[in-house]
């Protein structure tokens, strides 16, 4: 999730049991050309036991070089993931992300470069190709397996649907039953019940949580325990504060406060906090601004609702 899945975000999720973490998307071309923002995405915490790096691109030579950079760099990632599922328009226009599913020859060429230059685990994130016919998605999955991909995460929506509409679990199930490598189900998980339903309908033992973890890092605890555990206002504000503090350490106060505005809003939205307090988030510019807002949130007399996600 571009703009979210950085080290502070992962640390908030790991607090609640996340183990298999993934970096935000890193563009192969940007990495090859030394873009400092791309390098920052690769920052791994010393305490992170398992971390997968997620690569985006469609030019085989860039894929080859960027894979070698990731292989030989100081990060020691546990797996390399090739993104063939991103539906964002600017990515599709570059024939990358989900656009590659309709260009299997180029996709396989890129993956061959990755397989030849990456000694570890290689996985792919993809989407379904048709809603009413599993065969195109199965065929692509089998070709990926044949070239050496060791795991698939499948979002059960067409690329043009972005993140709306039903998740076509029957397509994911059909793929799972047609390949020998692990298949992870993805799409529409915002609560424990969503994860349980997706696992049951697809037959996948593992599911992937994405946008559902934004502002709700405790969703991983709920899934791991099989129980929705209520989160108090105090715990919510404590996790939020720790998250923002980690961002200050990662980016410096000025940059962190700008980046943190959407993070703070994600923790506060839809939970009963007064609009006049939530509206202050857009003006936060310093750590002291944040602490002042937190004090007001702690003191406001309303009953905070829906803190379980």
Which tokens is 174 given? 């059909």
Q: What torsion, rounded to 10 degrees, do the Cα atoms 22, 244, 262, 85 define? A: 0
Spatial CA neighbour of 167 closest among 176, 156, 159, 153: 156
Q: Which of 86, 110, 204, 307 is labelled catalytic?
A: 86
Task: Give 157's DSSP letter.
Answer: S
Phi/psi zone of residue 188: left (φ > 0), alpha (ψ -120 to 50 degrees), beta?
A: left
Query: Is 204 part of the annotated catalytic residue set?
Result: no
Which tokens is 141 given? 């999955």
State residue 29 phi and psi, 5-degree precision: -65, -40
Which tokens is 7 given? 């080290």
Neighbours of 100 (CB within 10 A): 28
Extract the runs of DSSP E, i.e. beta strands, from the chain: 21-27, 51-56, 79-84, 121-127, 151-155, 183-186, 207-208
Spatial CA neighbour of 154 closest among 108, 185, 111: 185
Which tokens is 191 given? 């609560």
Query: Side by side, which strands form the sheet with 51-56?
Result: 21-27, 51-56, 79-84, 121-127, 151-155, 183-186, 207-208
Catalytic center residues: 86
């Amino acid at each position: 999730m571009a703009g979210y899945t950085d080290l502070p975000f992962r640390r908030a999720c790991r607090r609640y049991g996340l183990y298999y973490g993934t970096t935000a998307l890193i563009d192969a071309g940007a990495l090859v050309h030394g873009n400092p923002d791309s390098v920052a995405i690769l920052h791994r915490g010393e305490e992170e036991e398992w971390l997968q790096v997620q690569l985006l691109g469609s030019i085989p030579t860039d894929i080859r070089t960027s894979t070698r950079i990731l292989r030989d760099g100081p990060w020691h990632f546990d797996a390399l993931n090739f993104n063939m599922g991103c539906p964002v328009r600017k990515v599709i226009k570059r024939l990358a992300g989900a656009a590659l599913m309709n260009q299997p020859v180029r996709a396989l060429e890129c993956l061959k470069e990755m397989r030849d230059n990456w000694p570890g685990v290689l996985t792919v994130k993809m989407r379904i190709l048709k809603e009413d016919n599993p065969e195109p998605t199965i065929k692509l999955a089998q070709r990926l397996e044949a070239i050496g991909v060791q795991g698939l995460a499948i979002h059960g929506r067409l690329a043009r649907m972005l993140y709306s509409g039903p998740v076509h679990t029957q397509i994911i199930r059909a793929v799972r039953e047609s390949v020998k490598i692990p298949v992870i189900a993805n799409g529409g998980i915002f609560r424990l019940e969503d994860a349980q339903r997706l696992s049951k309908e697809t037959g996948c033992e593992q599911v992937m949580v994405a946008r559902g973890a934004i502002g709700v890092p405790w969703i991983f605890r709920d899934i791991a325990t099989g129980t929705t555990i209520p989160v108090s206002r105090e715990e919510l504000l404590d996790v939020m504060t720790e998250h923002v503090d980690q961002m200050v350490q990662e980016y410096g106060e000025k940059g962190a406060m700008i980046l943190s505005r959407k993070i703070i809003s994600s923790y506060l939205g839809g939970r009963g906090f007064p609009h006049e307090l939530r509206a202050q988030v857009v003006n936060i510019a310093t750590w002291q601004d944040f602490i002042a807002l937190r004090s007001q949130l702690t003191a406001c007399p309303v009953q905070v609702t829906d803190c379980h996600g």
